[in-house]
Amino acid sequence: MSHSPDPDEDGLDTVPAPHPVFHVEQALLGALLLDPRHLGDVTGLSADSFSTAAHAALYAAISSLPPPDPDEHTKNTTWLNQVLVAGREQARGLTASYLHTLIQVCPWPRHAAAYARMVEAEHARRRLRAAAEHLVQTVHDASLPHPVETVLAEADALAAVVDDIAGRFPPRAGALPHTTLAPPTIVPDHVEAGEEEQLLLATATAYPADVASVRWLLPEDFTQPLHAGLWQCLTALTRRQEPVDPVTVLWEAQQRGLLGNASEPGDVLRLLAEPAGSVEHWGQLTLKRSLLATADHAGRRIEAYTDDPSNTPFQLVTGARRSLAQLGAIRTRWQHAIGRPLPQRRQAPTTRAGPPIRRAPTASPPPARPTAARAAAGRTP
């Protein structure tokens, strides 16, 4: 069992209390050690589903060893000794006393299936968080030769985890996660992004006929509100087929209320007066940055959902799918921007998930009385 030392003992910090799932895992393992026949009630778990190496090793040993004769199991500790030996191959710190503790802390062995479902739910949370963290890390990996393609591949891997969790946990009422999310605060390469957006706006002002070729670019792709507003001015003028130059764009900006203390008319005119390159080139760079920022925000939102222990697995699924849907929308626009489709993953079925499939327990004699098994466990060498 875990031990929380005195804060003054050898100057060590207090060991944090284990999470609730730790106690759930103890109850499940205790139920299986007490009555191994309940292993037939457990589905959807593997050794990786457990939060500690010791618990994973014990579950692997219990699952791999032939079950004992129920009557003999109440009389001796032979099978428990075998579990201990097998478990020590993966976790050398396992002791007979810990197996005894697991049996003692299990409230009701017949609740093994419920305990297993809880372990599976927490494992789903950890899997989802790991996939979201990997997506965020990939977004910020400056060494990638093809960042957009790699990030979208990670997003697909994250979506596959979401689909798997959705298949394991049927939907329930109140599926929306209730986690309060902070607004995104990270804007990568803010200075560089602003310079590229200025070049885009100036080039589009000089060559307004090219604005129609970048219809896939939207105001929300820009990192600065003024730039987003000026892009709206440009697209509105070209759509109305009115003259486009720095002065007409400035007048349109005034009509839209874009000019203020932070946006002097002279600054706007200078911003629009230095074209370079092509509209499509700068538009693609702006959209690329927007796509990566959207992926970053989606990953961080999903991380926030998984950090809230009150969210159920299906609430996590709902929140994750909504976050990834925003990335899917900008992905479609990116495909139009580069003129070729990117690999698309197969969409998950949209039908409601049914209840999990469980194996029927094999016929067996009536369960042994807990008191006898607990007494046998106490004789574990």
- Kindly report, residue by residue over 186-210, the tens digit of the pLDDT: 445 578 889 999 999 999 999 999 9
User: What are the DSSP calls for 111-131, one per residue?
Assistant: GHHHHHHHHHHHHHHHHHHHH
CB atoms within 10 A of CB 193: 20
Stretch among 143-152, 284-293, 310-319 having the lowest mean pLDDT: 310-319
Per-residue pLDDT at 365 exceeds 50: no
The whole-chain average pLDDT of the chain stands at 84
Strand partners, 263: 260
Token pair listed for 243:
């003259």
First to last CA, the chain: 17
244-258 confidence digits (pLDDT tens): 999 999 999 999 988
Same domain, 14 and 111: yes
The CA distance from 197 to 5, in Å, is: 58
Asked if residue 252 belongs to a domain, the reply is yes
Same domain, 32 and 49: yes
Phi and psi angles of residue 169, each rounded to the nearest 5 degrees, phi first: -125, 110
Asked if residue 95 belongs to a domain, the reply is yes
Per-residue pLDDT at 364 exceeds 60: no
Same domain, 203 and 246: yes
Same domain, 169 and 35: no
Same domain, 306 and 172: yes
Q: Which candidate, 210, 339, 223, 216, places its Cα nearest to that of 277?
A: 210
Asked if residue 62 belongs to a domain, the reply is yes
Q: HSE (CB half, 13 Å, CA atoms) of 353?
A: 19
Per-residue pLDDT at 325 exceeds 70: yes
Same domain, 174 and 295: yes
Asked if residue 4 belongs to a domain, the reply is no
213-228 confidence digits (pLDDT tens): 999 999 999 999 999 9
Give the single-character DSSP code of 224: S
Same domain, 253 and 331: no
Asked if residue 363 belongs to a domain, the reply is no
Same domain, 175 and 308: yes
Asked if residue 3 belongs to a domain, the reply is no
**Residue 220 burial (CB < 10 Å; 0-12/13-18/19+)?**
exposed
Same domain, 48 and 138: no
pLDDT score for 13: 44
Higher pLDDT, 12 or 264: 264
Contacts 24+ apart (CB under 8 A), 137-142: 139/292, 139/295, 139/296, 139/299, 140/188, 140/296
pTM of the model: 0.79
The CA distance from 94 to 71, in Å, is: 26
- The pLDDT confidence band at residue 6, using thresholds 50, 70 and 90, is very low
Percent of all residues in the chain with a pLDDT value above 70, rounded to a whole number? 80
- The pLDDT confidence band at residue 363, using thresholds 50, 70 and 90, is very low
**374-to-73, 100, 366 alpha-carbon distances in Å:** 10, 8, 17
Asked if residue 244 belongs to a domain, the reply is yes
The CA distance from 286 to 201, in Å, is: 11
pLDDT score for 374: 47
Give the single-character DSSP code of 209: G
Token pair listed for 70:
């129920």
**196-to-24, 99, 146, 188, 280 alpha-carbon distances in Å:** 54, 63, 20, 13, 12
pLDDT score for 375: 44
Asked if residue 168 belongs to a domain, the reply is yes
- The pLDDT confidence band at residue 343, using thresholds 50, 70 and 90, is low
From 229, 254, 279, give the residue that closes a domain. 279
Q: Which candidate, 297, 336, 322, places its Cα nearest to that of 217?
A: 336
Same domain, 315 and 167: yes
Domain range spanning residue 208? Answer: 190-279
Same domain, 159 and 28: no
Per-residue pLDDT at 4 exceeds 90: no
Q: How many domains does the chain have?
A: 3
Give the mean model confidence (pLDDT) for residues 62-89: 92
From 233, 262, 279, give the residue that closes a domain. 279
Per-residue pLDDT at 342 exceeds 90: no
**CATH (domain of 71):** 1.10.860.10
Same domain, 19 and 73: yes
pLDDT score for 85: 95
pLDDT score for 74: 86
